[in-house]
Structure 1
Amino acid sequence: MKIIKKISLILLLLLVLLALAVFGFLQFKKPNYDGDVQLSQLKNTTTTYFDDYGIPHIYANDEVDAQRVLGYVHAQERLWQMELMRRIAPGKLSEIFGSVMLKNDMFFATSGIQENSELAVANLDKNSQSYKLTLSYLDGINQYIEEGKMPIEFSLLGITPEKFTVKDVYNIFGFMSFSFAMAQKTDPLLTDIRDNLGMEYLKDFGIHGEFGTRQLKSFKGKSSEFAEISKSITALLENSPVPTFVGSNSWVIGANKTKNGKVIFANDPHIMFSQPGTWFEAHIITPKHEMYGYYLAGTPFPLLGHNRDYAYGLTMFENDDLDLFEETENRQNSNQYLTSQGYQNYTLRQNTIKIKDSADVILKTKSSIHGPIISEVLTGVNKSKPISMSWIYTQEKNQILDAVYGLCHAKDLNDFYEKIELIHAPGLNIMYGDVKNNIAWITSGKLYKLDSSVNPNFILNGSNGIDDRKEFLPFSKNPLAINPPWNYVYSSNNQPEAIDGYLYPGYYLPKDRATRIDTLLKVKNDWTRMDVEKMILDNTSSTAAQIVNSWILSLDKNQLNETEKNAISQLKIWNGSSNLNDIATTIYNKWIYFYLKNTFRDELGEEKFKLLLATHKIKEIFGEQSRNDSSIWWDNIETKTKKETRSDILTQSFKETIKNLEANLGSDVQLWTWNKAHSLEFQHPIGQVKLLKGFFNVGPYEVPGANEMINNLMYFYSDEKINQVKAGPSTRRIIDFSDIENSVSILPTGNSGNPMSKHYKDQAEMYVKGHFRKMLLNKKEIEKVSTKIVFSPKK
């Protein structure tokens, strides 16, 4: 027994020592928010105040010093995120995660982003201010790498970071631009529907930009499996450790519609949730420049920002800037493909992908005049049908660095407008408001028209010389509204009105949010910041109540039991809201899933049905299709003895909905509240490991909001008990030019990406409860609540 006791005591002591070692290690990893730091090449002492939410306010004599310090403090909080961001586009995730990321690396190494970045850097004006400030920012990152504490994630994965370069910055912008594109997920699926089912099945899909306004010619091509491209790319993006942009809201209220006679600006970009979140907040102040900005990891200039003179933000334009082409290879020479001018040679390229704990992979890729052949690096895709990717971002001159620099250094509205023309891709709705009472919505993107015979919703013909013929439009034809007489502008990824009779093709989201925003703004002329705070948290759909009422009318009432009737009673009194205690929104969202499943899955099959659920298209069409009695989709092709009607499918779907809710939430309809069915957890890439989940992840939380409401907390429709929120507002930001120092914002979790920082999740509870915090501009106010680091030149 004594020996056992001794062994037990020794083991206990070892565990205590191990716990103390781990505790000490983690404490050492905490970021510093006060003290003194010396930096090489710093010209003058620069003081950085960290306010009570860990947001750095950098006071410097000039921008070069400010950017060097920004790079340092940005790396202190987000170096792990920076490392991930710079590795995606060149295909270097396998170096740290192993072969699980090989498919992602093969695709992005083929995409052309890396080559475009190299070309852009080679053509940069090395004397430009944007270049000089970028070098200073990168030097700050690299000095932190040399002298600072490495993130916990680096220790767990054994990462030794290399110095950051300007090419890394371009690669980060390139990946984020690609994540905006929806064509690569949608076009192959629609091509499959056309080829396998016929054009009749696309009448409900609005592929000409308007629902039901044009007759489509009957067409059925050769059976194909292009949807495998959609499946593969969707899986790659979902497997990415970095979140993608998926939507956004923004509106700017003119002075004539505000109580205090000054512009009020609002923006909440919608991005896939992650931990850490997308944005790093920082405030730079020099004698000649001030900007309170939101930065992507590893980039020197903010995509969202404001100062005392103007504010800007963005949403996704959703225009089509990416086309897929089916190439025809020469049967005698696989290195050649057919064009309207005859056979041409592919451009051949070779990359080496390094894999952690495994042999390198040599990747050989081909490119046509349209772009890289992506079909060869996608899982499950028929390699005998080469598919190339033509993307404006990699084909036009890349001036993204100068553009983003220009947005945060604009002298006035005209100067701001001119800088937007530099952004050829991605397509963005860029929103603007200023202290002089100007308001604007301006779209970025190099827009073009295809031949009138070509529909860009499908994979195009690469050899006929017609499908790839583009008429590029001047920037003056980009949709915009500057100081309109109705005194407000807004954008919610909805399709702009036709210009010169032409509807710009794209992958727009339904007009639900836009309609709600427009309806609220139109009738009120005394807006305050507090009013806008309530509006940005609005949980009411502009269409849901009408849709569900039309569905109720179609039900076969003779088939309904008592529980189903109680559920209908809840739906009948519903106004379309999605608050935590709402019951009807739980029923409605589950009913949507079963209606979609029973309508589309029999024709598409399980895999393609899930792909459809992952596109913007399903959100755009279901309101229209579900009210169309004559839709070809209603008939279940698996039942041979009956032709189902709209009433049949909606009744069946409703009954399955109630059965599902009874199984998951019990038989009492009053207990089916939305808080039990709608949950948000901010997930860290390493948080997928169960043992580390509690340390790295934040949440889960019960949350209000729903798909396509202003408070757009998004999820995929499913038959699961919980609607797991995947995306939503990456920040909520309101700038009131009548009281600029009391403008407000919120981040989903916190400004730090370091799990040991008190600012890792200090905003999470506030965010889910719909609270805000001030964006401090007043130095005296900043000093009262802040710690500080004094950065001085290294001797």
Structure 2
Amino acid sequence: MNLSIVTNTFSLLKKRPFLSGGVLFLLLLPVILHFIFWGLVASKAPDYERTVQHPYLSSEVTVVRDKHGIPHIEAGDAKSAYFVLGYVTAQDRLFQMELQRRIGRGELTELFGEKLLETDKFLKTLLLKKTAEEYANAEKKIHPEAWENLDSFLEGINAFVAEGTYPIEYTILGTTPRPFNRVDAISFLFYMGFSFAEGIKSDSLFSILESQIKDRKVGELFPRYDFEQNATILESQPGFPRLATNSGAKKTPLPETSFKQKAQASLSKPLKDVSGIYELLDVVSNLHLPIEPMEGSNSWLVAPSRSSSGGAVLANDPHIALSNPGTWYEAHIRFPGYENYGYFLAIIPFPLIAHNQDKAWGLTMLEHDDVNLYYETVSGNFVTEKGKQVPIQVYSDPISLKGGGSENFEVKITPHGPILTEHIKGYTGDRPISLYWSHHHLPNPLLDVLFQMGRAKSFQELDSASSLIAAPGLNFSYADAKGNIAYYSVGRFPILKSGNSRKILEGATGENDVIGYLPSSQNPKLINPQNGIIVTANNKVTSRPIPGLGFPEGNWQPADRFQRLVDVLGRQEKWSLEELASLQTDTVASFAPVYLEIALPALEKVKSLPAKRALSILKQWNFEHHPDSQGAVVYDVFFYLTLKNMLIDELGEKNFELYGDFAEFLNAYRAFVQNPDSLFWDDLRTEGKETREDIFVKSLEDTAVYLEQNVSKSPSLWLWKNLYRIKHPHPLGVIPVLGKIFDVGPLPSAGGTEVVNNLKYKLMKEDWTAMAGPSKRRVIDYGRFGDSVTQLPIGNSGNLGSPFYGNMVEDYILGKHRTILYSKESYSQGRFKKEFHPSK
């Protein structure tokens, strides 16, 4: 606040003698608090220029922060480089690191209080800390140097912690950080692996609906890709002209349920009491997590034959829940024998995504199903496995409480995995439910993998390194300076004796157990394909059976983004860097033309004037989701209300909202719209039998009413920006008044659900604020390497006092990429320069 305003206010108040000192104080209190707060923030701002001496260093290190706030680290050796990386990352992201380690360990209650107790219990039940301890403390290491680098990184973090200048969040919460260690880092890395699993929610809801819905085929609600064509990574890539081999292989007819009948027979009778499953589902769906999991991603590769520059090109934008600070810490690190410009999880020293002058890689979610739920038969300390009683293991991991003290906590572990329902308050299910997750049953050396990937010299070496990943399932995209492009899937595909089901399985007989895994060497790959382009968008990997596995199962995201990218990239032979960067912010709803071609004839029957106006808007819409678009707001509300009018009678409000928590509802909707014979179109609440056309008409009438009530009485103000926003929430955003300081947004933006610019919202909750989207955007062109571009959603620093806090918000909203400053010449005159020297 300007000081003159305070002075003038005080002068004005002095002229009013009827104001008592107490009233005067109350009037000035907000101003006083304002200055105190921002004074504290300023005192805790990172010092980007002070020279640091430290005995751990073995060589001098220079850090140049460019005008965007990206640190460029140059060191004489790896030990010093990773120490400084830890230090500078802590300057910008210390509180984020605090949250990351507490999520991995299940220690949020100690920081935020008992409202996070149930979340901690669930996180501890995932055994993230246990498996991190086993991995970090193992005597034999794949790459000992990786752990030495991690230790150097942690020493750098702790050197900053020891200085005692912590971001304002610690002051607000009344705490200080303890030193960081290996388990802190690894447990969070494992959490990121689990964050891909939708199986807990989808399998639970399938079991609930199977028991409740009568005279309907529940499989229609969970189709995955049973009805999709031209939508798989291996068979449906674009060509120019479209190649016969890539024109979309005809889909092999699948059984109605697409999983083997033995799986259905093993739990053939619907459950009588599903209240216990609801309790599990409620806990999983309502976890209070200050860092949310990944949501989806896009990636595409262009071979030299298809790029304007004549070099290979990689474009990648992982989609993750929006947050402040964002997911990725962007940094450039260089020492003898090593250089990478990467995107880091703040608490991990090796980039998950990176590039240098020789190679670049990106990732998307594979979305294969490596999670299953099992009903267990428990008697005392024993559980039935394959018809025999075996002991239950117990892992003790007390929960620390805010203000001191602790609560005993034990995780019971069956041969399938931890029992999820043991600590769900009020669980009433007849039998406990356990979690099977590949991570618990296979070596999963993620730190060693990330270390080796950064040093790989070819896509074969990168593939070899990443093949050690057990979980999560990922699609890796690769391009290099030699002109190679390659795609390979990583993560192990479990093989179930009875086939991969979509619901909770019987665990006592062994008939539904995992009996092996597809060898990683047989995971799907594409290397330098003839068509010259490879696209992935969390879609199904292949429509064909994989030898030894059969048809792969997964929680595949809808085909919309993949099909849009394939369509656009197949339209011309050559693509420039600028065109590919622009494509990352494309907002066309690719399914909308199909949908409206079916719906518009029926919609001619609408009667009200507002509905007729909505119809006129739909007819003129160009299928794009820009802030001033009328068509986008009418279409998305119509899309939602059609789905609701079709399913609410069968599902009910609670199940309908739960159904919206994962992507399966969009896969089902695509099939429903094209199937007028589905019984779900009929409204069970009426005496007559409704048709698809009846539901379309009712839904557009309802859309007009909804827009009048929630946007404007005037159709001229039915604009996307008047309904839809994006927001980057801070973990302290829930605090009154202060929350508005920490949160970024809500802000109007282009984008929407399952468009390429996938800024998605909670549709079933009628929350039109985007909660997930591109966590960074990046295009690396090896024909024009120095022109390669990127974006971060907010800024590189999470410290409120940093000039790099929120400095990139506008560019992200506008879809404006910035040039990556890779060469020394491009960043040498940076905004800040800091030196680190060994202590003498």
TM-score by length of 1: 0.95
Q: Does 1:183 align with 2:183?
A: no
Cα displacement (A) at 1:718: 4.6
Identity of aligned residues (%): 34
Secondary structure at 1:130's aligned position in 2?
helix
Measured against aligned partners, the alpha-carbon deviations of 1:401-444 in whole angstroms (never above 9, x if no partner) come to: 01111111111111111001111100000111000011011111
Q: Does 1:314 align with 2:314?
A: no
- What's 1:158 paired with? 174
**Alignment partner for residue 625 of structure 1, among 651, 672, 685?**
672
Q: Does 1:531 align with 2:531?
A: no
Report the AA paired with residue 473 of structure 1: L
Distance (whole Å) between structure 2 residues aligned to residue 493 and residue 65 of structure 1: 38
Q: Does 1:68 align with 2:83?
A: yes
- What's 2:437 paired with? 391
**Alignment partner for residue 609 of structure 2, among 557, 562, 566?**
562
Cα displacement (A) at 1:475: 1.1
Judging changes above 3 Å, is the alpha-carbon distance between structure 1 residues 341 and 385 closer, same or farther for their aligned structure 2 residues?
closer
Single out whichever of 13-22 and 521-530 deviates more from structure 2: 13-22
Judging changes above 3 Å, is the alpha-carbon distance between structure 1 residues 5 and 115 closer, same or farther for their aligned structure 2 residues?
closer
Measured against aligned partners, the alpha-carbon deviations of 1:514-561 in whole angstroms (never above 9, x if no partner) come to: 111111222222211111111111111221121123122334x44422
Cα displacement (A) at 1:351: 2.5
Judging changes above 3 Å, is the alpha-carbon distance between structure 1 residues 367 and 525 closer, same or farther for their aligned structure 2 residues?
same
Q: Does 1:578 align with 2:620?
A: no
**Alignment partner for residue 449 of structure 1, among 484, 492, 495?**
495
- What's 1:242 paired with? 291
Cα displacement (A) at 1:494: 0.3
Judging changes above 3 Å, is the alpha-carbon distance between structure 1 residues 663 and 150 closer, same or farther for their aligned structure 2 residues?
same
Cα displacement (A) at 1:455: 3.9
Secondary structure at 1:408's aligned position in 2?
helix
Distance (whole Å) between structure 2 residues aligned to residue 432 and residue 68 of structure 1: 29
- What's 2:589 paired with? 541
**Alignment partner for residue 37 of structure 1, among 52, 55, 75?**
52
Mapping of residues 125-524 of structure 1, within 5 Å:
125=140, 128-197=144-213, 200-207=216-223, 209-211=225-227, 213-216=254-257, 220-225=269-274, 226-236=277-287, 239-330=288-379, 334-357=380-403, 360-379=406-425, 381-451=427-497, 453-497=498-542, 498-500=544-546, 502-524=550-572
- What's 2:788 paired with? 743
- What's 1:704 paired with? 750
Measured against aligned partners, the alpha-carbon deviations of 1:623-658 in whole angstroms (never above 9, x if no partner) come to: 11122112121222233x223222222222221111
Cα displacement (A) at 1:354: 1.4
Distance (whole Å) between structure 2 residues aligned to residue 13 and residue 534 of structure 1: 49
Judging changes above 3 Å, is the alpha-carbon distance between structure 1 residues 223 and 8 closer, same or farther for their aligned structure 2 residues?
closer
Distance (whole Å) between structure 2 residues aligned to residue 624 and residue 380 of structure 1: 38
Cα displacement (A) at 1:33: 1.5
8 A Cα contact 1:590 1:717, kept in partner: no
**Alignment partner for residue 762 of structure 1, among 807, 815, 838?**
807
Cα displacement (A) at 1:387: 0.2
Distance (whole Å) between structure 2 residues aligned to residue 199 and residue 113 of structure 1: 42
Secondary structure at 2:360's aligned position in 1?
strand
Report the AA paired with residue 463 of structure 1: A
Cα displacement (A) at 1:248: 0.3
Q: Does 1:693 align with 2:742?
A: no
Distance (whole Å) between structure 1 residues aligned to residue 393 and residue 340 of structure 2: 44
Distance (whole Å) between structure 2 residues aligned to residue 619 and residue 450 of structure 1: 27
Report the AA paired with residue 157 of structure 1: L
Report the AA paired with residue 68 of structure 1: F
8 A Cα contact 1:62 1:288, kept in partner: no
Q: Does 1:92 align with 2:107?
A: yes
Secondary structure at 1:699's aligned position in 2?
strand
8 A Cα contact 1:272 1:727, kept in partner: yes
Report the AA paired with residue 281 of structure 1: E
- What's 1:52 paired with? 67
- What's 1:651 paired with? 697
- What's 2:763 paired with? 717
Report the AA paired with residue 34 of structure 1: E
Secondary structure at 2:295's aligned position in 1?
coil
**Alignment partner for residue 39 of structure 2, among 14, 19, 24?**
24
Cα displacement (A) at 1:357: 3.6
8 A Cα contact 2:224 2:554, kept in partner: no
**Alignment partner for residue 835 of structure 2, among 787, 790, 793?**
790
- What's 2:249 paired with? none
**Alignment partner for residue 133 of structure 2, among 112, 118, 128?**
118
Single out whichever of 190-199 and 249-258 deviates more from structure 2: 190-199
Distance (whole Å) between structure 2 residues aligned to residue 11 and residue 91 of structure 1: 41
Mapping of residues 651-690 of structure 1, within 5 Å:
651-690=697-736
Secondary structure at 1:725's aligned position in 2?
strand
Cα displacement (A) at 1:398: 2.1
Single out whichever of 626-635 and 19-28 deviates more from structure 2: 19-28
Secondary structure at 1:78's aligned position in 2?
helix
Secondary structure at 1:687's aligned position in 2?
coil
Distance (whole Å) between structure 1 residues aligned to residue 761 and residue 42 of structure 2: 36
Measured against aligned partners, the alpha-carbon deviations of 1:704-755 in whole angstroms (never above 9, x if no partner) come to: 11111111110121574x6111100000111111121221111100000001
Judging changes above 3 Å, is the alpha-carbon distance between structure 1 residues 289 and 551 closer, same or farther for their aligned structure 2 residues?
same
8 A Cα contact 2:213 2:651, kept in partner: no
Judging changes above 3 Å, is the alpha-carbon distance between structure 1 residues 103 and 493 closer, same or farther for their aligned structure 2 residues?
same
8 A Cα contact 1:88 1:108, kept in partner: yes
Judging changes above 3 Å, is the alpha-carbon distance between structure 1 residues 19 and 449 closer, same or farther for their aligned structure 2 residues?
closer
Single out whichever of 434-443 and 641-650 deviates more from structure 2: 641-650
- Give ranges in structure 2 of 5+ residues lacking alignment: 1-15, 228-252
8 A Cα contact 1:186 1:230, kept in partner: no
8 A Cα contact 1:590 1:719, kept in partner: no
Cα displacement (A) at 1:603: 1.8
Distance (whole Å) between structure 1 residues aligned to residue 224 and residue 774 of structure 2: 30
Report the AA paired with residue 83 of structure 1: E
- What's 1:109 paired with? 124
Report the AA paired with residue 552 of structure 1: L
**Alignment partner for residue 608 of structure 1, among 655, 661, 667?**
655
| Aligned residues: CA RMSD | 2.1
Cα displacement (A) at 1:14: 8.1
Distance (whole Å) between structure 1 residues aligned to residue 453 and residue 534 of structure 2: 19
Q: Does 1:728 align with 2:773?
A: yes
- What's 2:232 paired with? none
Report the AA paired with residue 612 of structure 1: Y
Distance (whole Å) between structure 1 residues aligned to residue 717 and residue 19 of structure 2: 54
Distance (whole Å) between structure 2 residues aligned to residue 326 and residue 33 of structure 1: 55
Report the AA paired with residue 472 of structure 1: Y
Secondary structure at 1:271's aligned position in 2?
strand
Cα displacement (A) at 1:669: 2.5
8 A Cα contact 1:58 1:70, kept in partner: yes
8 A Cα contact 2:657 2:764, kept in partner: no
- What's 1:599 paired with? 646
Judging changes above 3 Å, is the alpha-carbon distance between structure 1 residues 661 and 17 closer, same or farther for their aligned structure 2 residues?
closer
Cα displacement (A) at 1:125: 4.0
Distance (whole Å) between structure 2 residues aligned to residue 580 and residue 9 of structure 1: 45
Cα displacement (A) at 1:147: 1.2
Report the AA paired with residue 562 of structure 1: L
